[in-house]
Amino acid sequence: MNDTRPLHTGLEGRIADLIAPGLESIGYELVRIAVIGKQRPTVQIMADRADDAPFTLDDCERISHLVSAVLDVDDPIAGAWTLEVSSAGIDRPLTRVKDWNRFAGHLAKIELDAPIALGRKRITGIVLGADERVARVKLDTGETVELPHADIRRAKLVLTEDLIKAAETPPPAN
């Protein structure tokens, strides 16, 4: 798993491989891709600015132009499709090692492919961080669990007052 790229498979993985280099070259990072629907699918692209500056409508427009051009040339989706571009938002998905580490200390809801943590597929806990192999979460029981990235169907921050305060505080300069 790449620290700054999400793990995608299937069609989403193919699209990610096509568009991530271009996004990175113009100052963005891919957060998530979802292809929704069958007849006329919607390709949802979620991105961040690499410089951590606030995400604007102009950013959505730049990304939309780039992604449309790449997908029109490579054509991974048969037939007509719709493109949606957005920021990851405050209660963002946790798709990259970088996200798990950046949001350590915040509450997240995680859905797993199979019940591994305490026999449950859905867990809520405090994000402790991640490495290339696993994400670590502290459950309300006080137990710490390690969740292999490949077993996480989806993970998302829970909107809390602490998360809102953290979003209002600019990130530290590197």
CATH number at residue 155: 2.30.30.520
Element holding 32 (H helix, E strand):
strand 28-36
CATH number, domain of 46, equals 3.30.300.70
Of all residues in the chain, what percent carry a pLDDT higher than 90?
Answer: 70
CA 40 to chain centre: 23
Range of the domain at 111: 97-168
Q: Are residues 161 and 134 in the same domain?
A: yes
β partners of residue 130? 135
Buried-state track 2-18, b at ≥16 Cβ within 10 A, e below 16: eeebbebeeebebbbee
Hey, is 137 helix, strand or coil?
strand
What is the band of 120 on the pLDDT scale with cuts at 50, 70, 90?
A: confident
The pLDDT score that the predictor gives to residue 129 is: 96
Residues 17 and 54 in one domain: yes
On whether residue 102 sits in a domain, the answer given is yes
State pLDDT tens for residues 127-159.
999 999 999 999 989 999 999 998 999 999 999
Q: Could you tell me if 35 and 42 are in contact, meaning their C-beta atoms sit under 8 angstroms apart?
A: yes
In a domain, 151, yes or no: yes
DSSP letters spanning 50-66: TT-PPP-HHHHHHHHHH
pLDDT in tens, 26-59: 999 999 999 999 889 999 999 999 998 889 999 9
pLDDT at residue 167 is higher than 90? no
pLDDT at 160 over 70: yes
Which of 35-39, 61-65, 113-117 is least confident? Answer: 113-117
Residue 45 contacts residue 63 (beta carbons within 8 Å): yes
Token pair recorded at residue 81: 């499709």
More confident residue, 88 or 169: 88
Beta bridge partners of 33: 45
Q: What is the percent of the chain with per-residue pLDDT over 70, rounded to a whole number? A: 93
pLDDT at 173: 55
pTM of the entire predicted model: 0.83
Q: What is the pLDDT of residue 68?
A: 94
